[in-house]
Amino acid sequence: MPIPTPEFKKALKRLTETEKESLLLRAVRRDAELYETYRFELLADVTVGQIQEETADRIHVLFNVAVTGRLLNRSLVKAVRAGVQEAARARRITKSKQLEIDLLLYILRQCIDNYSGQFDSVYDGFFNATARLATRVPALVLKSLHEDLWVEYKPELDEILRELHNRSKSRLLKFELPRIFALPE
């Protein structure tokens, strides 16, 4: 990310309002994330809930498109990765780490509720991607959220981890998948 130089800042100050407006409009036309960020910051009717809903819809579409692939397991891995990127994008737009965690849990729910049959496939990529995400989310909760919120996430995370440990592939993972979401004392 380039740092604006003092000369650049002076040149911006010399621009008229219409020139600044046209420059800004050109920038947001080129960068969708920049547009979403300014839309969130400038428009009063765009809320975190609305951004969450829009992102969840995009994640849902990613998983629906994955079903049509010839190699379903590989397509689901791509959908998980793209969903994680969408969650990170929503966090960058809103600066809300709780929103990112909620969207990551939504991805895990999509995987478990709709595609758990693929966990038993001979290809273990989808199960590994889901398990890695399930390992990452509790650490994010502990690191990013206030300790009063930890208890709210415990039942759902415990259920997800239990679902993953019920699969025979959980013993073959090359990393440690926690059995429960352990809260520090």
The number of folded domains in the chain is: 1
The confidence band for 69, taking pLDDT boundaries of 50, 70 and 90, is low
Structural contact between residues 108 and 59, judged by C-beta atoms closer than 8 angstroms: no
The confidence band for 1, taking pLDDT boundaries of 50, 70 and 90, is low
- What's the whole-number average pLDDT of the chain? 90
Residues 6+ apart with CB under 8 A from 23: 15
- pTM of this prediction? 0.89
> 130-172 pLDDT, tens per residue?
999 999 999 999 999 888 888 899 999 999 999 999 988 888 8
- Does residue 147 fall inside a structural domain? yes
**Domain region containing 124:** 47-172
Q: How far is CA 148 from CA 71, 134, 182, in A?
A: 42, 21, 14
- Does residue 182 fall inside a structural domain? no
- Does residue 40 fall inside a structural domain? no
- Domain containing residue 125: CATH number: 1.25.40
CA separation for the pair 72, 129 (Å, rounded): 14
pLDDT at residue 22, as a whole number: 92
Joined tokens for residue 50: 């609305």
CA separation for the pair 133, 111 (Å, rounded): 11
- Does residue 140 fall inside a structural domain? yes
pLDDT at residue 152, as a whole number: 92
Question: Is pLDDT at 68 greater than 80 in this prediction?
Answer: no
Q: Which residue, chain included where needed, has tokens 């929103």?
A: 99
Structural contact between residues 181 and 153, judged by C-beta atoms closer than 8 angstroms: yes
- Does residue 36 fall inside a structural domain? no
Percent pLDDT > 70 in the chain is 98
Angle at 116 between CA 111 and CA 118, to 5 degrees: 105
- Does residue 179 fall inside a structural domain? no
Q: What is the mean pLDDT of residues 30-59?
A: 92
What does the DSSP assignment read for 127-176?
HHHHHHHHHHHHHHHHHHS-HHHHHHHHHHHHHHHHHHHTSGGGGG-SSP
pLDDT at residue 95, as a whole number: 94
